[in-house]
Homo-oligomer: A and B are copies of this chain.
């Protein structure tokens, strides 16, 4: 289990082969992570520094690495090593059994799909992304529809091959939030809908009457970079094991057990845009930096699910970054960076941060309205995948559903059902995890702050105790538990949206 940790793989391999000619499944998993994390380096560079003419070769490099990782993780050697480890694990401890359980689950999922189907999906996505970008530009759903039809067929074939308890959508959702049932998510979302609409409507109304504009820019990028880095460091992001770079579409990616890269983009007219981007991505990054580094590549050293990952980003972005205590500490620093804030009182700034507005675009949505976008997408996607909504009928269904939730209709498909890249990337089943993340974030934040010492420290903008609690309760467990188990164990309560609703009510009503 330590071979993959030494610096020279060639030596390790040889040493291992001299031994008994076989590899332990954990050695193979670590090798798989070396390939995957190399892919992450190339992907990060592609989104940050790649010269324009280099894109075609980069695609070849990434394809080669993807293929190698897939070959390894579906190989006969992998299967044999996994079976051997399973056979010898009768008396193993909890972590080892969890690791083998999750590796079995991933192996079965990977090998249930024939290579030809995987290749067909990769090729279809590659074409669909281009078609989607063009179709969105021209607000022309018909240009994207044939691609979406093809991707849906592939998604349904995958679901059939993977199997599902109740409906095909279960199998897709399981890829992002394991062992979560579609029906349960639908029931949860249905139960939230009336109150979320009530909060959103009220927040938008109050905001229209009260929210002031931010003093005009420019907010120089160099000042934003200094402030962002200072704040990221203060909440615990480790710059010895990470960086912040610039990109068009902000993300967080992990290039190794001690190599977490955040990205953001800058708006010289509003410094809070990059800052809240950094807080969000740093939330993801703190999770990855808190995973057990020695288990990198094993489930016990991996993040659990999108719904848990998003809980970490939302917790730092919204529960911490939009709190009064946070800005009691940081607003004077921001005022030092940006002189135009000198005469803009903290109260006004907070009302600016808490403004709410009905936007047709999900990525522009605020806390008060965000989940309505997710409810809409989840309902439509479920029908698409299960076959009760034809592709041609999606725009009408979208606009009708949007009008019911928001009270108006998007002007075109560009502001409607073509706005997100997820479907074109084959990401059917993904959207629900955004709202699950919001709900988890609130439950975890409330649980942590039920400890008076953590709550008192947060009031002083000292987040070390909160981070320590997250390290112990969330990060340190990797993917050894289910999300429901993890949330229950961390908070002492079964997963529930009550803390989230309470948070929104307190902030907006």
Contacts and interface: CB of A to CB of B under 8 A. Distances in A.
Contact of A67 (B10, B70, B115, B242): B10
**Copies, count:** 2
B64 A35 contact: yes
Interface in A101-137: 115-116, 118-119, 122-123, 126
Contacts of A9: 60, 63-64, 67
A218 to B, nearest CB: 17
A330 to B, nearest CB: 24
Contact of A64 (B34, B54, B56, B116): B34
Interface residues on A, range: 35 or more
Given A241-B51, A242-B51, A126 B14 contact: no
A243 B53 contact: no
Contact of A42 (B38, B63, B296): B38
B41 A256 contact: no
Interface in A43-67: 45, 49-54, 56-61, 63-67
A119 B12 CA distance: 10
B240 A53 contact: yes
B57 A8 contact: no
B45 A60 contact: no
Contacts of A126: 7-8
A122 B10 contact: yes
Given A38-B61, A42-B38, A67 B13 contact: yes
B61 A258 contact: no
A45 B485 CA distance: 39
B10 A52 contact: no
A115 B14 contact: yes
A67 B45 CA distance: 23
A34 B58 CA distance: 9
A31 B68 CA distance: 12
B41 A61 contact: yes
Interface in A199-253: 238-243, 245
A45 B61 CA distance: 16
From A5, A34, A53, name the one whose CB has the most chain B CB atoms within 10 angstroms.
A53
Given A67-B10, A116-B14, A54 B241 contact: yes
A185 to B, nearest CB: 33
A51 B259 contact: yes
A304 interface: no
Nearest to A12: B63
A54 B10 contact: no
Interface in A427-476: none
Contact of A257 (B50, B57, B59): B57
8 contacts: A7-B126, A9-B67, A34-B57, A38-B42, A38-B65, A49-B245, A53-B240, A57-B257
For the complex of A and B, the 4 pairs showing the least CB-CB separation, nearest first, are: A57-B256, A54-B259, A53-B258, A53-B241
Interface of A: 4-5, 7-11, 13-14, 31, 34-35, 37-38, 41-42, 45, 49-54, 56-61, 63-68, 70, 115-116, 118-119, 122-123, 126, 238-243, 245, 255-259, 296
Given A8-B123, A37-B61, A53-B259, 8 more contacts: A7-B59, A7-B126, A10-B70, A11-B122, A11-B123, A38-B61, A53-B241, A61-B256
